Chain A
């Protein structure tokens, strides 16, 4: 049996040197022991680890371990179990033959070590959560002191968190393992402390307890969940935990009283306020918009088809109220739905450029859609566009007809088949009827062309250029008709 004496319970460097020496000397895991004892430091260490050879291993002799092992060992050393050093040494030993061992989380030793690592990091997390500072004053003024008993030896590992968070405060955290001090610039560590070394009260604590008690809902008692997350071992140093027994005891009665008390009459004075704040009436049967503002308002309340349910808002047309040209698209897309304006997405951009190329001022056109609500299907974090059905387009024609009647354009340019269906009321094959003026009953003309989204979707460059030219040609015909 070979024995290495470590300087402290968390002496990672001491363990590393000793373990390295043991491994190079071929000391099998069962033959190596690591003990912590401050009074045994010094000569004994050498004798124990070396026995004739130097305790410090020869740097030239290779002993390589993966970084993942070193990282894990740093944490596992902080665990309170006495056999942690032996476990680490066993893994170190095996690593020389099994290079991938650290990646095999299902291995008994690795999973054991990783469980301990998880316990340590949980203890560190709980320290971040459950440290409670109390206000104190010393010769330099205000300072903040906490007494805390961590589940594992995580003080040094966790202290930087508090330095980052409370940089401008002077604070100390006292624990049975040691103490940590922050003076606003640097961190220092001291000997173990006792609970009585920390202040025993703080005036704000009563406010905190008031908050804790008030934010508890007696109708939802779930003490097991509470204990799972806030284990009892921490309770004695959490001021609010003292309230738990009485909160639990009173919860049943409080819930019964709440459920058992009959409804009381509404507060008449306050109730009057409701009526002052009722919103405008919604869209009703028999409503007919007499101007574009009324129409816009009406669309928000429209329930002619179910598309309103998942859309953000109805998107109406935009442009000069007496425009000579009306452009009708299919429906608002993802962006239009959020912004509440038509053609603000990529297709709108393409349309702008094409109009410029054809010599038409888009600002003089009234731009709208055949369907006013965005039809889509949720797919994870996105919404996939779906083509409106004939019945949805037909339902929404009511609004498009009113829009046309109010704007009274000379030419209506329809983009794609849905838009054309919305204007003409019949299905058409766009490629067959595009570019030819179709007379409408009110004396104006419709002109059919493709939707700009179609041009955006064409995969090959040559086809895109060819289709773009035809599109521009259609727009030029529009200009002749105006």
Chain B
């Protein structure tokens, strides 16, 4: 094969990596390059350096080391039976690209993934080499996210955690049955074992009070995974149950939901259609409710139809419309947990309200200034000068709170 020039390779290997929803560069500790020989810093919160017209941010140089792959996962553009153009970066090329982009302030760091070539061990070794060279040869202190090859030797996973801020292994297909059908060589048990190993290592690396010498850092940004939505027929409730089990079992920082998107040269096993973007959005909202609002997966499931989240209204509003006996909530006396369950009130708004009400009794107008929009909130609260009367139980409440243009949802099944 003719040698591809570097820019062409970049276009092939960035294109192939764009289906991974994660691009976050947050969650790791603070670092800077003062006193070092290289460049780079992390602030804890990631920085998005650009946004593409698909609304997603560019925070990291997200590329594959290679899109050659010995696996044949139907949903993946890089599966062995796909006819896409193939390319492979050398370790040095990835290191140079990362540093060149970073110096110009285009990116926060590198997110490196790869098709499986030769073997899991060999592939993982190559990924680790890139991170190792950035950290050791160039004293690079920016963000590094490495994709885990789950079947790789645990020793390599351990090494990856020394250099990377975050590790991730994608589950992709929420249903085990579908996984065997769509991704015959992927094994959920192997992925879970790798995640379990990462959790144990992350915990072992947390310094204890009695430790005199801090243990070496291990993936301080934790681990994440991705579930593809709309490729295997799994309803939202099943997806959320899977997420709850992943958060609890492996201490994941994030579960990413990626609406199954048509890919060029797609497999006959999957029908082509527009990606279910609204469904993806609702799943992120539901996920948020589980992580920051104290909702459990079954509670969110209460307000679904046939296991699917309501596309017209957000999951918290859907839940509240279903549980109207719990409302209205008095914004001047209710506890934090109850306020967090009011549609339209976020964690920040609630915390501000609680702090303000020590000095003032809240009127509706005050609440309006503390949250993003009062319309959704009004039927579910009482304030000093406001009571919703029969509004909370109004038959047409749902219609009143639903945006006039109903989103049209395409579905694959």
A interface, CB within 8 angstroms of B: 100, 103-106, 108, 111, 125, 128-135, 144, 146, 161-162, 164-169, 202, 204-208, 210-226, 229-230, 238, 240-241, 244, 247-248, 251, 255, 258-259, 261, 263-264, 266-267, 270-271, 273-274, 276-279, 300, 309-310, 312-313, 335, 337-340, 376, 378-383
Docked pose: A58 CA to B266 CA in angstroms: 78
Minimum Cβ distance to chain A for residue B384 (Å): 12
A103–B50 touching, CB < 8 Å: no
Inter-chain contacts of B359 with A (CB < 8 A): 100, 103-104
Known: A144-B103, A224-B55, A270-B81. A217 touches B272 (CB 8 A): no
Which B201-252 residues sit within 8 Å CB-CB of chain A? 244-245, 247-249, 251
B275: Cβ under 8 A from any A Cβ:
yes
Can you offer 28 A-B residue contacts whose CB atoms are under 8 A?
A103-B355, A106-B352, A106-B360, A125-B47, A130-B49, A134-B104, A161-B43, A205-B104, A206-B7, A207-B7, A207-B97, A207-B100, A208-B106, A213-B11, A215-B18, A215-B58, A220-B277, A221-B54, A223-B55, A230-B51, A251-B53, A255-B262, A258-B266, A266-B82, A273-B70, A278-B184, A313-B193, A378-B297
Docked pose: A240 CA to B150 CA in angstroms: 35
B249–A383 touching, CB < 8 Å: yes
B90: Cβ under 8 A from any A Cβ:
no
Which B65-121 residues sit within 8 Å CB-CB of chain A? 70-72, 80-83, 97, 100-101, 103-106
Inter-chain contacts of A380 with B (CB < 8 A): 247-248
B370: Cβ under 8 A from any A Cβ:
yes
Among the listed A103, A166, A271, which residue makes an inter-chain contact with B72, where contact means beta carbons less than 8 Å apart? A271
B284: Cβ under 8 A from any A Cβ:
no
Name the segment of B32-40, B127-135, B372-380 touching the other chain: B32-40
Known: A226-B51, A273-B70. A133 touches B105 (CB 8 A): yes
B262–A259 touching, CB < 8 Å: yes
Most-contacted residue by chain A among B185, B196, B200 (CB, 10 A): B196
Known: A259-B273, A312-B195, A383-B249. A300 touches B189 (CB 8 A): yes
Among the listed B39, B57, B189, B267, which residue makes an inter-chain contact with A165, where contact means beta carbons less than 8 Å apart? B39
B196–A220 touching, CB < 8 Å: no
Inter-chain contacts of A165 with B (CB < 8 A): 32-33, 39-41
Docked pose: A248 CA to B105 CA in angstroms: 25
A379–B248 touching, CB < 8 Å: yes
B335: Cβ under 8 A from any A Cβ:
no
Minimum Cβ distance to chain A for residue B345 (Å): 14
Minimum Cβ distance to chain A for residue B287 (Å): 13
Minimum Cβ distance to chain B for residue A427 (Å): 29
Minimum Cβ distance to chain B for residue A306 (Å): 11
Most-contacted residue by chain B among A104, A133, A220, A339 (CB, 10 A): A220
Inter-chain contacts of A274 with B (CB < 8 A): 70-72, 80-81, 184-185
B369–A111 touching, CB < 8 Å: yes
B10–A214 touching, CB < 8 Å: yes
A225–B55 touching, CB < 8 Å: yes
A168–B38 touching, CB < 8 Å: yes
Inter-chain contacts of B261 with A (CB < 8 A): 217, 219-220
Docked pose: A270 CA to B69 CA in angstroms: 9
Minimum Cβ distance to chain A for residue B18 (Å): 5
Which B345-397 residues sit within 8 Å CB-CB of chain A? 352, 355-356, 358-360, 362, 365-367, 369-370
B61: Cβ under 8 A from any A Cβ:
yes
Inter-chain contacts of B277 with A (CB < 8 A): 220, 222
Which A residue's beta carbon lies closest to that of B365?
A106
Minimum Cβ distance to chain B for residue A269 (Å): 10
Which A residue's beta carbon lies closest to that of B248?
A378
Inter-chain contacts of A133 with B (CB < 8 A): 103-105
Which A residue's beta carbon lies closest to that of B273?
A259
Inter-chain contacts of A103 with B (CB < 8 A): 355-356, 358-359
Inter-chain contacts of B358 with A (CB < 8 A): 103
Inter-chain contacts of B100 with A (CB < 8 A): 204, 207
Which B residue's beta carbon lies closest to that of A111?
B369
Most-contacted residue by chain B among A168, A278, A376 (CB, 10 A): A168
Docked pose: A135 CA to B82 CA in angstroms: 40
B53–A221 touching, CB < 8 Å: yes
Inter-chain contacts of B184 with A (CB < 8 A): 274, 278
Inter-chain contacts of A105 with B (CB < 8 A): 352, 355-356, 369-370
Inter-chain contacts of A229 with B (CB < 8 A): 48, 51, 55, 57
Contact mask B1-45 → A, CB, 8 Å, 1/0? Answer: 000001100111011011100000000000011111111110100
Inter-chain contacts of B12 with A (CB < 8 A): 214
B199: Cβ under 8 A from any A Cβ:
yes
Known: A229-B57, A230-B50, A313-B193. A216 touches B105 (CB 8 A): no
Among the listed A131, A220, A276, which residue makes an inter-chain contact with B54, where contact means beta carbons less than 8 Å apart? A220
Inter-chain contacts of A300 with B (CB < 8 A): 189
Known: A168-B36, A229-B51. A202 touches B104 (CB 8 A): yes
B50–A238 touching, CB < 8 Å: yes
Minimum Cβ distance to chain B for residue A382 (Å): 6
Minimum Cβ distance to chain B for residue A292 (Å): 19
B192–A211 touching, CB < 8 Å: no
Inter-chain contacts of B189 with A (CB < 8 A): 300, 312-313
B80–A132 touching, CB < 8 Å: no
Which B262-298 residues sit within 8 Å CB-CB of chain A? 262-268, 272-275, 277, 296-297
Minimum Cβ distance to chain A for residue B127 (Å): 19
Docked pose: A277 CA to B185 CA in angstroms: 8
Docked pose: A251 CA to B11 CA in angstroms: 17
B259: Cβ under 8 A from any A Cβ:
yes
Among the listed B19, B54, B272, which residue makes an inter-chain contact with A258, where contact means beta carbons less than 8 Å apart? B272
Among the listed A204, A244, A381, which residue makes an inter-chain contact with B248, where contact means beta carbons less than 8 Å apart? A381
Among the listed A162, A210, A247, A271, which residue makes an inter-chain contact with B53, where contact means beta carbons less than 8 Å apart? A247
Inter-chain contacts of A309 with B (CB < 8 A): 176
Minimum Cβ distance to chain B for residue A205 (Å): 8
Given contacts A146-B105, A211-B58, A218-B54, 11 further A-B contacts (CB under 8 A): A104-B356, A164-B32, A165-B32, A211-B10, A216-B52, A241-B50, A263-B266, A264-B265, A276-B70, A278-B185, A309-B176
Inter-chain contacts of B259 with A (CB < 8 A): 220
Which B residue's beta carbon lies closest to that of A272?
B80
A270–B80 touching, CB < 8 Å: yes
Minimum Cβ distance to chain A for residue B120 (Å): 10
Inter-chain contacts of B248 with A (CB < 8 A): 376, 378-383
